[in-house]
Each structure stands twice: as C-alpha cells, then as structure tokens.
C-alpha cells in the first residue's frame, strides 16, 4: 500500500507535498527496516516451521512437537 498516494498528500496542483520528498522526510524513522524484519522475524519463523515439518516427516509424534506461533512473527523489536 502506498503511503503518499492519497489525495491529502498532494498540493493544489496535484504534485506530491514537499514533506514527503527529499532527505528530510522522516517516514522511515518510525518503521522497522525491511532487512531487520527479514533477518530477525521472517527467517526464524520459516526455519522453525521447516524444522517442525521435517521432524514430522522423519516420524516423530506430531502431537509432541512444539510448533511456531499461529500467524504472528516472533517479534524482536528494532527500536
């Protein structure tokens, strides 16, 4: 979803407002970087899920395996 593609983000001439452009736009400061999410949230969850699936395929009891949490990533906060 685009952050600056809304009508309220445009000036009277239809151009994007100055506060969203340039080196001083601070939108990124309030969000976790993508590389951090991939490295510390997405990859560990995928690794845990794969290990659980492989354990079931090796013949371990599916009821005795600790699966990763439902639809949430293991949150380790950047800030």
**18 plus 38 within the same structural domain:** no
* Total domain count, the chain: 2
Residue 57: its pLDDT value, please? 96
Residue 53: its pLDDT value, please? 93
**25 plus 36 within the same structural domain:** no
**Euclidean distance between CA atoms 79 and 74, whole angstroms:** 15
**73 plus 40 within the same structural domain:** yes
Range of the domain at 4: 1-31
**Euclidean distance between CA atoms 65 and 79, whole angstroms:** 32
Inter-CA distances, 66 with 33, 34, 42, 59, Å: 29, 28, 18, 15
**18 plus 3 within the same structural domain:** yes
**70 plus 43 within the same structural domain:** yes
Joined tokens for residue 59 = 């013949």
pTM assigned to the model? 0.54
**23 plus 47 within the same structural domain:** no
Give the pLDDT of the chain (79 residues) as one tens digit per residue. 466 667 778 888 888 777 766 665 555 566 778 888 888 888 888 898 899 999 999 999 999 988 887 766 666 666 6
């Amino acid at each position: 979803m685009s952050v600056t593609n809304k009508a309220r983000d445009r000036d009277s001439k239809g151009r994007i407002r100055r506060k969203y452009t340039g080196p001083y736009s601070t939108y990124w400061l309030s969000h976790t970087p993508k590389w951090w999410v991939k490295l510390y949230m997405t990859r560990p969850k995928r690794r845990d899920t794969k290990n659980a699936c492989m354990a079931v395929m090796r013949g371990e009891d599916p009821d005795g395996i600790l699966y990763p949490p439902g639809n949430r990533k293991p949150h380790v906060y950047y800030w």
